[in-house]
A and B are shown apart, each in its own frame.
With several copies, the nearest count.
Chain A
């Protein structure tokens, strides 16, 4: 882990709903903003939750704006729904910077995102610079999310499963077999597993897993790799594509 991981009390400085169930939120956290690296993540909790929900929730950072971290959060359960109820000026506790991020590209990169997987890649693009940016979404209902991303990344190439937005297909349809540019990918496990068949020369993937501590203490978030079990939170969340055992 780079930077001194710690729990910081932070204020919400901006919030916006992107469509019905995605929250774009900014929190002021100078210490993390200064040291966080693309692919690293933070853990959040709301001090007014009491002890339920109990655990902090992990999220990628999608951009850094001065002292603010920007996050893109899909409302999928209790914690995320409660976060969406908070307003500008409210307090959150943020733990970070967490995990190992992407290593810098040696040539122009390709970003490959599945849905919310775009979040850490937007930040990578902010730091590493633009390259191709391929996005796949389910389709229907994802318009506002795609618009939000396109406003930040005009070169976005969009695919959707149902063909309602951009080209029908998945993000992987935007890639050639044996691609030689360095690929940065984040999305559903299925998408990343399928990437293996494309045999890219260099590909780093950012993974998700259920977490308890987020600091490498509990071994709750392990995945199977060719070198045995690794912790997503501390050994990842970014891994080399070849390292991961996908069918575990």
Chain B
């Protein structure tokens, strides 16, 4: 029997494949058992204090093997999440990770307080200090070890459950941010959110996105995300979750061997709704061939 379960700190996952924030919907039709059987957990879309309309203008642009997005945290706000979404989500039996967007300290406290009410339905908070698509807050916290630490401590005061921190690859000193998060009590690090990119529409001679820059994801970024996972997992002793361009079993195995305990899939889900299942099939074939019984034995093996 192959064992593909992993533990993110105290959170046991039946599968090392997590669906990344902003890339899975709340529509009931997506929460079928046959689609989610192979998924360890699903991250919610970023939650903000008030409902947010997101950004105007173009939101999506395809690049070679990559995707630029400028959604801007469109979501229905914490009250709708707790009152309307959670009661439905909990019925599906898939672990739910609440992706909480850091805007300011007051708002953060409010969101986390409401999540405490439904703590038994939220398997972890994923503190998002890394979204590049809004003018204020978020990524401006994640680039700094001091501010990251401040945000983590703030959540810690209110939330006693598992706390993951989703880092930004734009941090000048990722190891510093990672250690700051660990020291302030984070239980795991998600490495990482989107990279800063942009596009120009040569026909209109303008930047495609109203905010000019946008978040860059997809297979294109995988080699850089893998490098960050290697670096960060050497700097901390809490589990690291690899995120960025994972789209095959080899990608998952590379992330694990570089020091990740699990991975999140974002953009890859857009082109293959059964990517978790297809990845796990490839991973199982590898484990069988290589006589690896427990996926956990491969964590960080490339460093040894």
- Is B62 at the interface (CB under 8 A from chain A)? yes
Most buried by A among B29, B54, B67: B29
B:232-277 near A, CB below 8 Å: 247, 267, 269-274
Docked-complex contact A54 and B271, CB < 8 angstroms: yes
Q: How many A-B residue pairs have CB under 8 A?
A: 100
Q: Which of A95, A210, A212, A218 contacts B273 (CB 8 A)?
A: A95
Q: Which of B23, B32, B218 contacts A218 (CB 8 A)?
A: B23
Smallest beta-carbon distance A245→chain B, Å: 12
Docked-complex contact A219 and B71, CB < 8 angstroms: yes
- Is B59 at the interface (CB under 8 A from chain A)? yes
Docked-complex contact B59 and A219, CB < 8 angstroms: yes
Other A-B contacts than A5-B30, A5-B273, A222-B59, 14 sampled, CB-CB below 8 A, are A6-B273, A7-B274, A45-B271, A51-B64, A51-B218, A54-B66, A54-B219, A54-B270, A93-B272, A212-B67, A215-B30, A215-B273, A219-B71, A220-B69
Evaluate whether A215 and B27 lie within 8 angstroms (CB atoms) in the complex, with A7-B273, A54-B218 already known. Answer: yes
Docked-complex contact B59 and A220, CB < 8 angstroms: yes
- Is A56 at the interface (CB under 8 A from chain B)? yes
Instruction: State in angstroms the CA–CA spacing of A26 and B90 once bound together.
Output: 41
Smallest beta-carbon distance A65→chain B, Å: 25
Residue of B nearest to A7 (CB): B273
Instruction: State in angstroms the CA–CA spacing of A213 and B59 once bound together.
Output: 12
Tell me the B residues contacting A by CB distance below 8 Å. 22-25, 27, 29-30, 32, 35, 45, 53-54, 56, 58-67, 69, 71, 74, 218-219, 247, 267, 269-274
Docked-complex contact A6 and B53, CB < 8 angstroms: no
Q: Which residues of A contact B219 (CB under 8 A)?
A: 51-52, 54
- Is A108 at the interface (CB under 8 A from chain B)? no
- Is A71 at the interface (CB under 8 A from chain B)? no
Docked-complex contact A222 and B271, CB < 8 angstroms: no
- A-B pairs with beta carbons under 8 Å apart, 27 shown: A5-B29, A5-B30, A6-B273, A51-B218, A54-B62, A54-B65, A54-B218, A54-B270, A55-B67, A55-B271, A210-B60, A212-B60, A213-B23, A216-B30, A217-B24, A217-B269, A218-B22, A218-B23, A218-B60, A219-B22, A219-B45, A219-B74, A222-B59, A222-B74, A234-B25, A234-B27, A248-B56
10 tightest CB-CB pairs across the interface, nearest first? Answer: A220-B60, A217-B25, A216-B25, A51-B64, A1-B29, A51-B65, A213-B270, A51-B219, A219-B74, A220-B59
